[in-house]
Structure formats: structure tokens, C-alpha cells
Structure 1
Amino acid sequence: MKKILIISNMYPTDNHLSFGIFVKNQVRALEEAGMNVVIAVNDDPTTGKWPVIKKYMKWGLKTLTTAFRQRKQISVTHAHYAFPSGMLALIVKRLFGIPYVVTAHGGDIERMAKKSTRLHNWTETILKNSEHVIAVGPVLAEQIEHDFSIPKEKISVLSMGVNRRIFYPIDKNIAREQVHLAQDAFHFLFVGNVIEQKGVEELVQAFQMVKTSCEKPVKLTIIGARRDEGFQKKLQPFIDEDVQFIDPLAQQELVKWFQAADVFVLPSHLEGFGLVALEALAAGTPVIATQVGGLVSLLNNGAGHLVPPHHASELAQEMKRATTRVADDYYHVSAVNAVLEQHDEKNITAQLQQIYEVAAKGGRRV
């Protein structure tokens, strides 16, 4: 195995810490495992028609230039997201004969491919021409198999994994001192982009329901990028002094909030896997999430608590129930340990290396 070319339309920078951080984490894990990794990534989260066209043209040119210059050294390309990253991997394969693997993360299959017949057909072409398809969750794998006629044996279910050297539990009182949280309150935490699809509106509505009916003080911390000003205004009627917003944090800081919270809440409308829920579990914090996508397989065996999406009242009921239970009673240790072992970053990396080895044999060299 020579070099692995990673293509991703999301990659973090110091100014955009959470933008595709899971891809950067996997790159680091591969390098730590001794693999030679080259990246061709877009690290600009700018939105808007013309800015997107401009940044994607720049990224596409960079990708093709990198592939051309190192075509003799690259054994396999790994594209994160079927579209648009997978399209570049397909072009690289057709131009230089370099085989590719594509990871579908959820939004590329559940949203992007459904925007038009053309995008669906492009996605199908990308998936069918790949040497292997990785789905971050089993529900997503089934969608890929049925919606795009991809053979089951060509699909692997493989999450991005969690680094348990970073995400691990400590005494919550100590963690709260580190992030300056009140010791006498019950703390709920959400981490993710503050957008409608993440269920943030239902979350703040549910929190207010809990607050009005709960005997103990409750707090909610929301950590994530807030680029949708219209959605922010929609949330305002449910925001008060007990709800705080924090900009994206580096993982070494973010883990402290996971460790300090009583319960992590992820009320997404759709979720390919739900990596932040896994990180919360690794930090020793129980999880309430919605019955969507990869969250079902991640949590349904007792590792967490699931509620229907789009239902603030049912979410509030589960959140309130959490405030009445002692942590050990609300936290199924054996189920969580099984989940963490399955999705440990080291195990994921080893499986990914095997996929690369097989995929590298599928292309021709030019």
C-alpha cells in the first residue's frame, strides 16, 4: 500500500473547528496506524450560489492537480460523501485509473440525492463505479442497497469511530468546575449545527416544558455553528437565561462539556450515524436521541433512550424522566461498553485498512 488520497468537501480549520472534524480525525488515525495520507479537501463552509461554485471549482482543480502529480504513488482514493466528493473520485479513476472507496454519511443519500433525478443518477453512477461503499450506519446501508441497486456484499457498515483517549469520563463535579457550570442544576447538552434538521427547535421547546414542571433547576447548553440567522430568530421565543449558546470548540475543550453534562440530547430529524452521541457515551454521559438513521442501531439495545422525531412533548417527557433518575440507573453500562468497543477508533481504522487493501487491487495503473 502506497498513498491514500482523501477527498472531502468538509474539513476543519482553526476558524471552523467542527466543519468535517470527523474526516480530520480519521486522517489522523490512519497516519497513526502508519499509512501515508494525502488530502484534497474543501475547508471553506461558505454558502450561497456563487461562493459555493467558486470554492468547489478551486477544490476540484486542487484535487485533480494533486491526483495527477502523485498518480504513480496513490494506491486508492477515499471520498467522504458520495456527492460531490465521490464525483471527483470518479473523475480521478477515469483519468488516472486510481480505484476509490466512498463513505456515505447520510445527508448525501437522504437529502442531496433526492433533490433531483440528475443528482440521484450521478450518485448511483458514483456508487456503482466505486470499489467499495462504506455506510456510517445500517439504515443508510439498506437505503444505498435498495435505492441505488448496490450489491450488499459491496457495502460495509463502518462508523467514523470515537477516540477514547480524548473522550472518556471523569468526575462530573470536577468537569463542571472546569467549564463553570452550576453544581446544583441538572444540565442538558446539545452539540451540532444549530439548524432545523438537527431538531434544535423541538429541543428548546421541550426544555421549556421541562423547566416549568421540574422541581430542580435545569440548564441547557447548545454548542455549535449558528449560520442560519432566520432559524436563530425562530428560536428566540424559547430562549432565556437558562439556555446558553457556545460557538464550536476544539475537541479537547468540547469533551469537558460532554463530561460535565447530566444528559446529552440529539433530537435530529435525520442522522446517518450520530457521532456526537457516541462521543457523549464515551465521556460517560447518557444520551436521549430520536429514532432516526444510525441512532436507532447505536442506542436501541439499552445504550441510550430513543423518542420519535419532531415531537417536542415526547422529548420533554423523556428529558424530565432523566431528571428523576440517578445516573447509574439511567445509564446501562454493559450496553454502552459494547457500543464503545464496536466503534472504537482503533478497530474502525483496522477495518478501513482492510477495505483499502482490497480496493487497491481493483484499479489499473496509468
Structure 2
Amino acid sequence: MPPHVAAFTDTYLPTVNGVTYTIRTWRKRWQNRGGRMDVVYPGADAHDPAPGEHPVRSLPFPFYENFHIGAPSVPSAVEDADIVHAHTPFGVGLGGLRLARDIDRPLVASYHTPTSEYAGYLAEGWLLDAVARAGNAYERWFLGRTDHVIAPSETARAALERRGVGPVSVVPNGVDTDRFVPTDATEFRARHDLPAEGTGPLVGYTGRHGFEKRLTDLVAAADGMDATFVLGGDGPARKTLQEEAAERDADVRFLGFLDREELGEFYSALDVFAFPSPVETQGLVALEAMACGTPVVGVNSGALTETIDDGKTGYHYEPGDIAGFRDALGRSLAERDGLSSTCRSRREAMSVEHSVDALAAVYDTVL
């Protein structure tokens, strides 16, 4: 019988992001294997908890809309867990640390997002570096109190090990290949008033519009290109991006938040997925795009250096090189059919089932 896992996370429904999707997908697969995985998360009125979901008291986070800070509470329903798994290191994550100590159970931590990435929500200017350094110090403190750390890529593992964190195992987040599959996107294009297939190339991105994602590079690369650029999602940088797009010689459209059910159609509608973010620990949206047969152009930094197989599933460009970004997009559009074929052939290797196999191996190790 698989062990009973108590997952503690500072981000969960109704907040929509990669951490939420990963926890939900792993939980479902764990249950399919006969295991139990409870989730402890900041409560929010907009989400009605399902069995095994345990909201704790929370307050809105003033610097980021729809995000809540949860109390480090431990619901009684998870006090008999075999393993505690912290997906984030803050309020609710500290509750996981407390539980693991109180019941003398192993603590596993997932490294989804560098803590320093949150600095942009709390400070700017000369304070930004100081807040980022404090975040890194706190992150080392938290991870140093775990029995095992999970990183979603070899790049992320190497970065943690250079900082003295360990032991670290790679467990990719994995892609739900039942959901993300090449599909007919005709209705999606019509629904969002996008050019019909065959009338011009479509380049796009979806995800949080944060300043650290460097989406301004994407808008700059669109300048003068004979393609329609579409950005799905929302975030603090959206207004800046829209203002910059209005000054460019480019067809850039903002779709706003896309329902999870639409994402397979969105990826399939694109000729190329563009990903300029240099701060990814894996880049799950890139893998989702590839699973839908869409090649990816991404910055040659962070985990995207390994997520994208250069010349096989897309192309890289060097950080800050807008001309190189534009060239890589043009090359991917020209080679789209061959790149797409390789992406499709690698769908099985991206599957979340492989990820849960690796997760189970980590749990076996700490037990």
C-alpha cells in the first residue's frame, strides 16, 4: 500500500499556476495507485474543498491579487501521515515542517520556484537585491531542515547542490498527456477572433505575466515579424506589456486568463510557443506545448536549457538577444513540421506517470 502523504502548500485552488496543477495531478495519480495524499493549503472562499483537501486560516497577500497567506496550521486529519511533503516554504509550508518534527516523520520538499523570485512583489530599486538575498537565506534554512529535496530538472538540482542543499533528486512535474494532446483548434481560433489556420503563423505564450518572466523581450521580438502574437494569462506586468505592444510594429493580442480546459486547444493553435523566462526550474508550459506538437523557442537560461532540445523540439536564443530571439522564431516557423513531429514522438517520455514513479522512489528512500 502506498504511504499516506500530507502535502503542504502555500498556493492551491482557486489560485491557478504550475504548482497547483502539479499537486492536483500528482494527487490524482497517487490515489489511482491506491494511496492517500491529503492537501493542506490557504483557505479561500472561492474554492469548495473536496475530500482530502484541508484549508487553513489565511489572509489576502496585498502584493499579488488572488494569492493568500496561510497560517502554519496542522489539521488533525493529517496527523497520522507517513510522509510530509512541503511544496512551498512559507506559512503553510512551515506547518508541514512542524508536523514532521512533531510526529517524527520524513519531510520532503519540492523546489518549484526560487524564493528570490518573490522579491519583485515586495520591493523595487535598491531594496530588490536585499530582499532577494534574504529570500535565498531563508530558502537555504528551510531546505536544510528537510530529509530530501525534489527538483523538477537537472539544472535546478545542480543549482541547489552548488548552494550546499542535499540530498536532491530530480522528479519532473510531468505532463498530463491525456489532456495535452494535438487537437483541432479551429473553434478556439474562432472563439478568440484569431486568424484561421493557414492564413498566417501564430506565436504565443501563456502563463503568469510577471516582470521576471521577461515578456517584454517577446513583445520586442514581435516587432516587424509577419506573425500574430497571442499572450494568454494575466499578472502584474500585463499593463506594461500592452503599452509596449501598442508602440511596436506588431500584431500582439492579449487573451487574458484561459480556462485549463482551453489550454490544449491554445497550444495546438500555435505554430510556435515562445518562452523568454530565464527563471524557470523546469518550464511546465513548454512541455505542455510540446505534448500538443508545438515546438518551443526559449531563452538559453535556467531549466529551459534542457527542457528544449535545440534543433529537435525548438531553438534557444541567448538572454537579452532580441535579434537572436526573432531569428530563432523565424527558424522554428520555417522548420515547424519537422520540429512538431519530434515533439509528438516524445510525448510518452513527458508523461506524469513517469514523474509519479520517480516520486514514489523518493518516498521509498526517505522511509
TM category, shorter = 0.7 to 0.9
Letter aligned with residue 321 of structure 2: H
Counterpart in the other structure of 1:134: 150
Letter aligned with residue 32 of structure 2: E
Alignment of 1:47-196 (within 5 A): 47-48=61-62, 55-56=68-69, 59-61=70-72, 64-66=73-75, 68-71=76-79, 73-83=80-90, 86-108=93-115, 115=131, 119-147=135-163, 149-151=164-166, 154-171=167-184, 176=189, 180-183=193-196, 184-196=199-211
Aligned equivalents of 1:110, 1:140: Cα separation in 2: 14
Q: SS state of the match for residue 228, structure 2?
A: strand
Counterpart in the other structure of 1:353: 360
Aligned equivalents of 2:60, 2:255: Cα separation in 1: 20
Cα–Cα, structure 1 residues 329 and 189, in superposed 2: closer, same or farther, change >3 Å?
same
Aligned equivalents of 2:63, 2:204: Cα separation in 1: 33
Shift of 1:234: 4.9
Shift of 1:114: 7.7
Shift of 1:266: 0.5
Query: What is the TM-score normalised by the length of structure 2?
Result: 0.81
1:296 aligns with 2:305: yes
Counterpart in the other structure of 1:222: 231
Q: SS state of the match for residue 25, structure 1?
A: helix
Shift of 1:358: 2.7
Cα–Cα, structure 1 residues 256 and 86, in superposed 2: closer, same or farther, change >3 Å?
same
Pick aligned residue for 1:208 from 223, 226, 229: 223
Cα–Cα, structure 1 residues 146 and 314, in superposed 2: closer, same or farther, change >3 Å?
same
Cα–Cα, structure 1 residues 175 and 119, in superposed 2: closer, same or farther, change >3 Å?
closer
> Are the counterparts in 2 of residues 135 and 158 from structure 1 also a CA contact under 8 Å?
yes
1:151-181: CA deviations, max 9, x gaps? 4xx2111111001000011345576456553
Shift of 1:84: 5.4
1:112-158: CA deviations, max 9, x gaps? 698366544432232232121101111111111111x234xx21111
Q: SS state of the match for residue 314, structure 1?
A: helix
Counterpart in the other structure of 1:36: 36
Letter aligned with residue 345 of structure 2: N
Q: List alignment gaps of at least 5 residues for structure 1.
A: 362-366
Shift of 1:60: 2.1
> Are the counterparts in 2 of residues 179 and 257 from structure 1 also a CA contact under 8 Å?
no
1:60-96: CA deviations, max 9, x gaps? 24xx231x4531x211111113455543322222223
Aligned equivalents of 1:51, 1:180: Cα separation in 2: 28
Q: SS state of the match for residue 226, structure 1?
A: coil
Aligned equivalents of 1:49, 1:198: Cα separation in 2: 17
Pick aligned residue for 2:256 from 247, 251, 259: 247
Aligned equivalents of 2:10, 2:97: Cα separation in 1: 15
Greater percentage in helix: 1
Q: List alignment gaps of at least 5 residues for structure 2.
A: 45-58, 120-128
Cα–Cα, structure 1 residues 176 and 80, in superposed 2: closer, same or farther, change >3 Å?
same
> Are the counterparts in 2 of residues 258 and 280 from structure 1 also a CA contact under 8 Å?
yes
> Are the counterparts in 2 of residues 3 and 74 from structure 1 also a CA contact under 8 Å?
yes
Shift of 1:50: 11
Shift of 1:348: 0.6
Q: SS state of the match for residue 174, structure 2?
A: coil
Identity value in percent: 20
Q: SS state of the match for residue 133, structure 1?
A: strand
> Are the counterparts in 1 of residues 5 and 38 from structure 2 also a CA contact under 8 Å?
yes
Moved more, 101-110 or 224-233: 224-233
> Are the counterparts in 2 of residues 4 and 77 from structure 1 also a CA contact under 8 Å?
yes
Aligned equivalents of 1:35, 1:150: Cα separation in 2: 29
Aligned equivalents of 1:51, 1:252: Cα separation in 2: 22
1:26 aligns with 2:20: no
Figure out how many residues of one structure are paired with residues of the other and give that number: 339
Aligned equivalents of 1:204, 1:158: Cα separation in 2: 33
Shift of 1:206: 0.8
Shift of 1:6: 0.9
Shift of 1:4: 1.0
Aligned Cα RMSD in Å? 3.1
Q: SS state of the match for residue 209, structure 1?
A: coil
Shift of 1:262: 0.7
Pick aligned residue for 1:320 from 302, 312, 330: 330
Aligned equivalents of 1:162, 1:277: Cα separation in 2: 10
> Are the counterparts in 1 of residues 176 and 351 from structure 2 also a CA contact under 8 Å?
yes
Aligned equivalents of 1:92, 1:251: Cα separation in 2: 33
Letter aligned with residue 254 of structure 2: F
User: Which is bigger in relative contact order (C-alpha 8 A, separation at least 6)?
Assistant: 1
Aligned equivalents of 1:8, 1:341: Cα separation in 2: 28
Counterpart in the other structure of 2:51: none
Q: SS state of the match for residue 82, structure 2?
A: strand
Cα–Cα, structure 1 residues 328 and 232, in superposed 2: closer, same or farther, change >3 Å?
closer
Query: What is the TM-score normalised by the length of structure 1?
Result: 0.81
